[in-house]
Amino acid sequence: MISFIKGKKYIQTLLALKLSVKMERLLRRCRIRNSLVRECLAECLGVYILILFGCGTVAQVTTSQEKNGQYLSINLGFALGVTFGVFVSRGVSGAHLNPAVTLSLCVLGRHPWMKLPFYTFFQIFGAFLGAATVGLQYYDAILSYSGGQLTVTGQTATAGIFSTYPAEYLSLGGGFLDQVIGTAALLLCILAVGDQRNTSIPDYLQPLLAGATVLVIGVSMGSNSGYALNPARDFGPRFFTYIAGWGDDVFRAGRGWWWVPLVAPCIGGLVGTLIYEMLVEVHHASLSPEDQPSCQETTEAKSLELKGVEPSLVGAEEELEASG
């Protein structure tokens, strides 16, 4: 009886191992070798998560008429959306999630200019997909709230679930300045979080602080126009509403507001980058030769990482192949 049980467990273990190896082989075939494609897909997925949680929160608050959340819920939704979007993509693409961030890093020489249009396209595409998911998920609730009409303005307007629109009192100039200031603050804080020579922050805390930055901007600067701060976050969902039934009013509302969240965040990002560089980072003392890692140390670290890649699975696969 004992030998039968042991034999049964052995067979179960062997079958599980074979299944694991087959799955690993399948996943290997799905791997994309081109690094730029991998980075773009990571950016797309990161922004998708941002919009899924952020606009999803707006949809819940709006369609429930603030019974299931309030303005602070929206701020938390976008903040946590940024946090988890960064966690999803940072190891592959650096988690820019925002064309204004990518542009600023290109200006600083920390990101290749050649990648800028690719990152921007996939960031917008990820935002479009996120908005489409929220629209599908809340379709019945949106129609119920708006009386069956997809409207951009008015008491039951629902286009604002997906994109930003200015308050009635806000002029285009005032809205432009609002977005420049907000995005400048965003970039300034992001650069500070990533500046290891200013404050050494553990890697695992940086996504949380990026989300906290979005949260504090939302609670302090959100009432004028919804703090887009991100051309992809605004244009991708706006284009979705345009083709999903809200019509061209999404581009005409707010005295043609749609271009402000595209242009102003890019300018604001550059302003914030310049401010941080000129007032803080440029004044750091240069690293001494003793503090800089040598080429040999870097090479050894990389070789150690490569040596540790999937040894158990490779060994298991060889053992199974040998046993037939």
Summarize pLDDT for 244-258 with one digit per residue, the tens. 999 999 999 999 999
User: Alpha carbon of 255 to those of 65, 164, 260: distances in Å?
Assistant: 26, 13, 11
Predicted TM-score (pTM) above 0.75: yes
Return d(Cα 30, Cα 23) in angstroms, integer.
11
| Nearest-angstrom CA–CA distance, 273 and 187 | 6
Query: Rounded mean pLDDT of 236-241?
Result: 98
The arithmetic mean of pLDDT across residues 94-121, rounded, is 96
**Angle, helices 172-194/206-221, rounded to nearest 10 degrees:** 160
Residues in the chain, overall count = 324
Q: Of 3-17, 38-52, 89-103, which range is least confident?
A: 3-17
CATH no., domain 35-282: 1.20.1080.10
Class of residue 195 by CB neighbours under 10 A (exposed 0-12, middle 13-18, buried 19+): middle
**What pLDDT does 211 receive?**
96
Q: For residues 19 and 153, which has the higher predicted lDDT (pLDDT)? A: 153
Query: Residue 28 has what pLDDT?
Result: 78
What pLDDT does residue 171 have? 95
Q: Is the pLDDT of residue 301 over 50?
A: no
Q: Residue 199: what pLDDT?
A: 85
Q: CB neighbours of 261 closer than 8 A, spacing ≥ 6?
A: 163, 164, 179, 225, 228, 230, 231, 233, 234, 235
pLDDT band at 119 (very low <50, low <70, confident <90, very high): very high
C-alpha–C-alpha distance, residues 290 and 247, integer Å: 61
Give the pLDDT of residue 300: 41
pLDDT in tens, 62-102: 999 999 999 999 999 999 999 999 999 999 999 999 999 99
* Residue 19, pLDDT score: 76
Distances in Å between the Cα of 47 and the Cα atoms of 124, 138, 282 are 8, 19, 31
At 306, is the pLDDT very low, low, confident or very high (cuts 50, 70, 90)? very low
pLDDT at 287: 54
Q: Look over the chain and give the mean of its residue pLDDT values, rounded to a whole number.
A: 87
> How much is the pLDDT for 3?
61
pLDDT of residue 5: 60
pLDDT tens track for 264-287: 999 999 999 999 999 999 998 765
Tell me what pLDDT residue 226 has: 93
What confidence tier does 304 reach under pLDDT thresholds 50, 70, 90?
very low
Banded model confidence at residue 320, pLDDT cuts 50, 70, 90: very low
Query: What distances in angstroms separate CA 103 from CA 36, 41, 108, 123, 262, one per listed residue?
Result: 16, 18, 9, 13, 13
